[in-house]
Amino acid sequence: MTFHRPGIIRPPSEWKSYFLPLTSGCSNNTCAFCGYYGSKLQMRDVDDVKREIDALSLFMRNGVRIPTVSNVVYAIAQDWDGKRVFLQDGDALVYPFAKLKEVLQYLNEKLPSVERIAAYATPQDILRRSRDQLIELKDLKLSIFYMGIESGDDRVLQHVGKGVKRQELIEAGKKAKEAGITLSVTVILGLGGVEGSEEHALETAKILTEIGPDYAGALTLTLVPGTPLYEQWEQGKFHPISPFRSLEELRIIIENSSFTDCFFSSMHASNYISVRGNLPHDKEKMLRELEAVLAVRDPSLLKPEFLRGL
Ligand code: SF4
């Protein structure tokens, strides 16, 4: 079956990466808020991946383009500094372990300048791998996972079809960290709706504290047409929080979480206000920034809706 190269959806910090697809879609396609909802998982042939690595290597060394290779490869490669690779797509860690190893070994051999390889990983993917397997992947430079926590509240996780409970999220996060893999997680402001807002924020602060990720990013829920949560909103069954309530949730999360060393940010395009800093060091500064906006509640201080992105 022909592999369809997915569009590029990436964490903000991967903007300098080369985007190498191993899969398309997501193996856990049940999340009611996500654009991958209902997507079909497709695995790419290892030989096809290797051909792309060969073409990339040739281009990076000699600037030579192979006519049969997709223009996308060269469009990404021309501005690439050769250091970072992001494995697509929704959860590239689902790629069978032996094949993933083969791809990583080949990548390291053909592009030795690569310093760091990254992938989205579901908690299920991480839990499916043994500790030794995760260490093997890290030694092959797959050294950062992006994992969606979304919420620390089991009721919210169940409502949005995340497919795991908070305890599994905690185990997955800790397992990745214990294998020496850098862990970057995301949580979604507003995912509990109006009724679940307080609990969602408090439980999310707790789960972040328990996992202790290296990076944590807050996103703000954006209802995506075609997803179940969007339909629930249309039917009046899901009540989204206001932009200022999303800032209050952010304040609750920052106030109630306790980290030893975590870079926390709400720089994602979906957020109404950007705050960032190292926690715990910048906690007071970040809270003051939020308080300043919440004190006046002037809508002109918020990012306009048309500038918000997914
Ligand atoms: S696991 Fe992640 S990518 Fe997959 S559907 Fe859920 S939120 Fe989307």
Structure-token match 């998982």, residue found: 41
Q: What percent of the chain clears pLDDT 70, i.e. is strictly above it?
A: 100
The model's confidence at residue 269, banded by pLDDT at 50, 70 and 90, is: confident
Please give the number of the atom of ligand 1 that sits closest to the Cα of 161: 6
Q: How far apart are CA 291 and CA 300, in angstroms?
A: 16
Q: Residue 114: what are its φ and ψ, rounded to 5°? A: -65, 130
Roughly how many angstroms between the first and final C-alpha of the chain, as a whole number? 30
The model's confidence at residue 185, banded by pLDDT at 50, 70 and 90, is: very high
User: How is residue 224 annotated by DSSP?
Assistant: P
Q: What is the per-residue pLDDT for 1?
A: 75
**Mean pLDDT, residues 258-276:** 92
Residue to mutate, 8, 27, 28, ligand 1, most ligand atoms under 8 Å from C-beta: 28
pLDDT digits (tens, 9 = 90+) for 13-68: 999 999 999 999 999 999 999 999 999 999 999 999 999 999 999 999 999 999 99
The model's confidence at residue 310, banded by pLDDT at 50, 70 and 90, is: low
Of 70-74, 209-213, 271-275, least confident by mean pLDDT is 271-275
**Mean pLDDT, residues 139-167:** 98
Q: How far apart are CA 237 and CA 241, in angstroms?
A: 13
214 by Cβ neighbours in 10 Å (0-12 / 13-18 / 19+) ranks as: middle
Q: How far apart are CA 259 and CA 281, in angstroms?
A: 9
Q: How far apart are CA 79 and CA 77, in angstroms?
A: 6
Residue to mutate, 31, 158, 185, ligand 1, most ligand atoms under 8 Å from C-beta: 31
The encoded tokens of residue 149 equal 């926590």
